Amino acid sequence: MQVEAGIEKKLVFGDPKAPRFVWWQNKLRPTPSGPDALTFDLLSIGGKLRAAFGAVGLKPKAPGNEETVEQFVRRNLGDEVFERLIEPFCSGVYAGSPNKLSMKAAFGKIQGLEQAGGSLVGGAISMMRNKPKGPKPERDPRLPEKPKGQTVGSFTGGLQALPDGMAKRLSKYIRKQWVLRELRRDSEGVLELHYDTPKGARRLRTRSMSLTIPAHAAADLLRSASPETCEALRSIDYPPVAAVAVSYPLSAIREDRKDAAGKLPGFGQLHPRSQGITTLGTIYSSSLFPGRCPEGQQLLLNYFGGTTNRKVQDMSPEDVVAQVDKDLKQMLLKADAPAPHVVGYRLWPKAIPQFNVGHLELVQGAQDDLKSAGFPEVFLGGNYMAGVALGKCVEYGYTEAARLSDFLSQSAIGNTNSPEKAQDEAFYGSVV
């Protein structure tokens, strides 16, 4: 995908060994990363034993109903793993509440392990055994070398490089700043899309579409097409989250937190809701990726709000920054650290869709209702269908493209002798 967008040379990777921390009982404690699984001090010995026994199958059986993340993890791995690792992880990924998030919908791969092998370890073994044999799919040789192990990636200059690269590469097909206002059928039964564009109103007739706008925006557009789909999509919760990027001089970092280069070592940290810290989590952006801030400074990206703190949307940016600064002073910075330099503040009033219990059935029902209402050519997409991680959204894009292509090849495309023209018309419609 990076190669297709022409931005592979801009890829940057985080260090896979960069430690992640959890703030627990007034101390930042590294999360286990393999060899230190026995020695790390985030869990007590009792907590580690409970997790180990549970992982191999000594735990209560799975109930018949769909479990929340909290129910699944407490049952499989015990209370400590839930309270000290998974609860803050849910804040980090979903800004959500683990007593509402569905294990199946939010972390389906892990939930599937227990189903497949009776326990998490049993499932992992059976997954490895059933792994398709044969050579691994080849990595595109044009991609830059990736460090060994699981890591995160971005681009020099940030993630904006991705949409910019794609818009450049696909400039013939992409229309920027076209806002979809209405979707309806015309008198010939063709799907009509009405847009506000920088050049005025435009109408596009199309044989199919993938609607990848957020669920609440899709709900408004589909109100008259399918009231049931509208209602289902509107019910998906999107809590507010503020992204607060601040920098401090390296001299402001507490001596016991610094590495040899004087920076914060690692990826970042998460804060369980029970530990008296309001900020959800902090990414050590300038430790993770090169070129993120001037020499002698440390850039920190903080997340604030979520399902447990919706009042962020009524707070002023100054108040949010002040609270973030107070939290950082409690955990990372010297008491006399200067006021932060605010590099960026962005409030996302509807940030991340919550994959709560019932989510998978809800979105499948929304798609089915749309079909029953006579709109089989409208496909719902975006993160509430794909999964919230950016990588999931990209993978889903490829699957969705294949699904649309199948749909079009099965439906009557028109009386043309040129398959190329037929494909083009089918995909891009005609602007009127």
Residues that bind ligand FAD in the complex, under the rule CB under 6 A:
179-180, 212-214, 217, 241, 243, 348, 351-352, 382-383, 388-391, 393
Shortest distance, CB of residue 246 to ligand FAD, whole angstroms? 15
Shortest distance, CB of residue 241 to ligand FAD, whole angstroms? 5
- When computed from its CA atoms, the radius of gyration of the chain, rounded to whole angstroms, is 24
Write out the two tokens for 358.
Answer: 């019932």
Confirm if 245 and 297 have CB atoms less than 8 A apart.
no
How far apart are the C-alpha atoms of 256 and 328, rounded to whole Å? 14
Q: Which is nearer to ligand FAD, 205 or 258 (CB)?
A: 205
Shortest distance, CB of residue 368 to ligand FAD, whole angstroms? 21
Single out the residue of 18, 301, 5 nearest to residue 152, CA to CA.
18
Q: Which is nearer to ligand FAD, 4 or 36 (CB)?
A: 4
Q: Which is nearer to ligand FAD, 10 or 194 (CB)?
A: 194
Confirm if 195 and 221 have CB atoms less than 8 A apart.
no
Shortest distance, CB of residue 36 to ligand FAD, whole angstroms? 24
Q: What's the CA angle centered on 29, arms 26 and 33, to 5 degrees?
A: 165
Shortest distance, CB of residue 214 to ligand FAD, whole angstroms? 5
Shortest distance, CB of residue 99 to ligand FAD, whole angstroms? 21
Shortest distance, CB of residue 356 to ligand FAD, whole angstroms? 16
Q: Which is nearer to ligand FAD, 51 or 386 (CB)?
A: 386
Instruction: Please list the residues that pair with 241 across neighbouring strands.
Output: 305, 348
Q: Which is nearer to ligand FAD, 53 or 348 (CB)?
A: 348
Q: Which is nearer to ligand FAD, 221 or 331 (CB)?
A: 221
Q: Which is nearer to ligand FAD, 210 or 297 (CB)?
A: 210
Q: Which is nearer to ligand FAD, 262 or 391 (CB)?
A: 391
Shortest distance, CB of residue 115 to ligand FAD, whole angstroms? 25
Write out the two tokens for 41.
Answer: 């001090």
How far apart are the C-alpha atoms of 389 and 394, rounded to whole Å? 9
- Give, in order, the Cα–Cα distances in Å from 422 to each of 188, 218, 267, 417: 19, 28, 49, 8
How far apart are the C-alpha atoms of 43 and 29, rounded to whole Å? 9
Shortest distance, CB of residue 218 to ligand FAD, whole angstroms? 8
Q: Which is nearer to ligand FAD, 375 or 422 (CB)?
A: 375
Q: Which is nearer to ligand FAD, 43 or 162 (CB)?
A: 162
Shortest distance, CB of residue 312 to ligand FAD, whole angstroms? 11
